[in-house]
């Protein structure tokens, strides 16, 4: 009986946030199929550790599990990640929607959306994740800090830098560069040499 109650509680509290979980996973993995795999693994982890969840807000808790699952998956499956770092100050270009829903206005909106999505996919994952959590998932700085396991000040810094990188990528000022991502074991082996 207790297990059935716990499962119903899990379904009631966690499953409504599957769309947010998939959205975060899709932005971090940049692939719908990989995101589905990551979310499936994250849900299994969440179910396994549901008894340890504190509080009544399951969304940040689940997104934290999705984030950790994504990073583990990326470390195992993606040897390279696009990384461009810049310490410039924040500047954000707002894109206003056209006033009408005429076909050419819808096409222009879709083209802008595709360009923004492409630019977002080219910035480093550490910046991309805080932008997705703040701008797309509308989470507070405190929740993002909890999910990403970083201080609130780092969340604000990454948001500012990520927004600046987006602006520069969209303006054509910055070209993404590939950087090798190595695992902790590989880094320790290199340090031992």
Nearest to 116 by CA among 97, 99, 103: 97
Q: Retrieve residue 192's tokens.
A: 């031992």
| Site of tokens 């969209």 | 170
Q: What's the pLDDT score for residue 91?
A: 34
Q: Retrieve residue 165's tokens.
A: 């990188």
Q: What's the pLDDT score for residue 173?
A: 82
Nearest to 24 by CA among 135, 118, 115, 122: 135
Q: What share of the chain is helix, strand, coil (3-state, %, to 5)?
A: 70, 5, 25
Per-residue pLDDT of the chain (193 residues; tens, 9 = 90+): 467 888 888 889 999 999 999 999 998 888 899 999 999 999 999 989 888 888 778 899 999 999 999 988 888 887 555 333 333 333 333 333 344 456 666 666 677 778 778 888 888 888 999 998 998 888 999 999 998 899 999 999 999 999 999 889 888 887 755 445 556 666 677 667 6
Q: What's the pLDDT score for residue 46?
A: 92
Q: What's the pLDDT score for residue 176?
A: 58
Q: What's the pLDDT score for residue 102?
A: 61
Q: What's the pLDDT score for residue 117?
A: 80
Q: What's the pLDDT score for residue 74?
A: 84
| Cα dihedral across residues 34, 40, 46, 48: positive or negative | negative
Q: What's the pLDDT score for residue 84?
A: 33
- The structural domains of the chain, ordered by start, are 2-78 (1.10.1740.10), 84-192 (1.10.10.10)
Angle at 140 between CA 134 and CA 18, to 5 degrees: 65
Give the chain's largest Cα–Cα span: 63
Long-range contacts of 19-22 (CB under 8 A, 24+ apart): 20/59, 20/62, 20/63, 20/137, 21/62, 21/63, 21/66
| Cα dihedral across residues 79, 35, 173, 87: positive or negative | negative
- Distance of alpha carbon 44 from alpha carbon 134, whole angstroms: 25
């Amino acid at each position: 009986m207790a297990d059935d109650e716990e499962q119903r509680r899990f379904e009631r509290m966690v499953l409504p946030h599957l769309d947010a979980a998939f959205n975060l996973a899709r932005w971090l993995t940049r692939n719908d199929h990989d995101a589905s795999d990551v979310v499936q693994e994250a849900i299994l982890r969440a179910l396994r550790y549901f008894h340890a969840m504190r509080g009544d807000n399951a969304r940040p808790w689940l997104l934290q599990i999705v984030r950790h699952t994504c990073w583990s998956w990326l470390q195992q499956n993606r040897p390279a990640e696009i990384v461009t770092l810049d310490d410039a100050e924040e500047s954000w270009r707002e894109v206003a929607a056209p006033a009408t829903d005429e076909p050419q206005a819808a096409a222009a909106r879709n083209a802008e959306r595709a360009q923004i999505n492409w630019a977002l996919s080219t910035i480093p994952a550490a910046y991309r994740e805080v932008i997705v959590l703040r701008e797309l998932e509308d989470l507070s700085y405190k929740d993002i800090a909890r999910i990403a396991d970083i201080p609130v000040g780092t969340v604000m810094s990454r948001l500012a830098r990520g927004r600046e990188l987006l602006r520069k990528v969209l303006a054509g000022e910055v070209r993404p560069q590939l950087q090798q991502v190595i695992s902790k074991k590989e880094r320790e082996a290199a340090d031992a040499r």
